Amino acid sequence: MNIQRDLLTVNPFSRPGKKLDKVKALAVHWVANAGTTAKQNRNYFESLKDQSLNDASARYASAHFIVGISGEVVQCIPGEEVAYHVGAKKYTPEAVTAFGYIPNNCTIGIELCHPRDDGQFSTETLRAAGELCALLCIQFDLDPAKDIWRHFDVTAKVCPRWFVEHPEAFDEFKQSVAGAVNRLRR
């Protein structure tokens, strides 16, 4: 798999430079910005470094990987560092049980680009995201059936929209990742 490393600058808003605890899960997101590229979304995360710590409305956001509409994969944060992708004021009871109250400390965030506002992913995005998730499941000894979460499952935010509104599509995605893991382990 071709992964373009284009790491964010260490900064308080998108790449804190803190070490992750043991990786317990992958969290899948949508970029919620139809038609944008992986590089454009990476650059948005990078632009957050220009905010002021004195600004009460400053945004904290990032992800480890962004998968583009054409299947390109950009890595923004090393796999051993924290990304700001599932922070919230409140978490689902299942997330608290699995991750405690700071899920960013033990999850890898993967943003998926989408061509339209409905959030449906292209075949290329799903293929590349599936392959990436399979590799990460092997690397971190994760079970695709229970260790791939939607952002929604952690915070109840409707993200990724397509997988929240079409839970069967999310189940199919996890099954395809499990198949890829089995093929890669042979």
The CATH number given to 3-181 is 3.40.80.10
Amino acid 186: pLDDT: 86
**Cβ(19)–Cβ(80) under 8 Å?**
yes
Sheet strands side by side (includes 73-75): 3-5, 73-75, 65-67, 107-112, 25-30, 148-150
State how far the Cα of 16 lies from the Cα of 48, in Å rounded to an integer.
Answer: 12
One-letter amino acid identity for 18?
K
Q: What is the pLDDT of residues 71-80, one digit of tens each?
A: 999 999 999 9
Residues, the chain: 186
Task: For residues 143-156, give the mean pLDDT.
Answer: 98
Amino acid 95: pLDDT: 98
State how far the Cα of 155 lies from the Cα of 32, in Å rounded to an integer.
Answer: 16
Q: What is the pLDDT of residues 87-136, one digit of tens each?
A: 999 999 999 999 999 999 999 999 999 999 999 999 999 999 999 999 99
Q: Using CA atoms in the order 7, 10, 14, 19, what is the torsion angle rounded to 10 degrees?
A: 90
State how far the Cα of 23 lies from the Cα of 21, in Å rounded to an integer.
Answer: 6
Task: For residues 11-17, give the mean pLDDT.
Answer: 98
State how far the Cα of 59 lies from the Cα of 12, in Å rounded to an integer.
Answer: 10
Amino acid 22: pLDDT: 93
Give me the residue spans of the domains in the chain: 3-181
Indicate whether 8 pLDDT > 90. Answer: yes
| pLDDT confidence band for 155 (50 / 70 / 90) | very high
| C-alpha 99, offset from chain centre | 16
Is residue 160 reached through a cis peptide bond, with omega within 30 degrees of 0 on the bond before it? yes
Q: What is the pLDDT of residues 30-72, one digit of tens each?
A: 999 999 999 999 999 999 999 999 999 999 999 999 999 999 9
State how far the Cα of 43 lies from the Cα of 48, in Å rounded to an integer.
Answer: 9
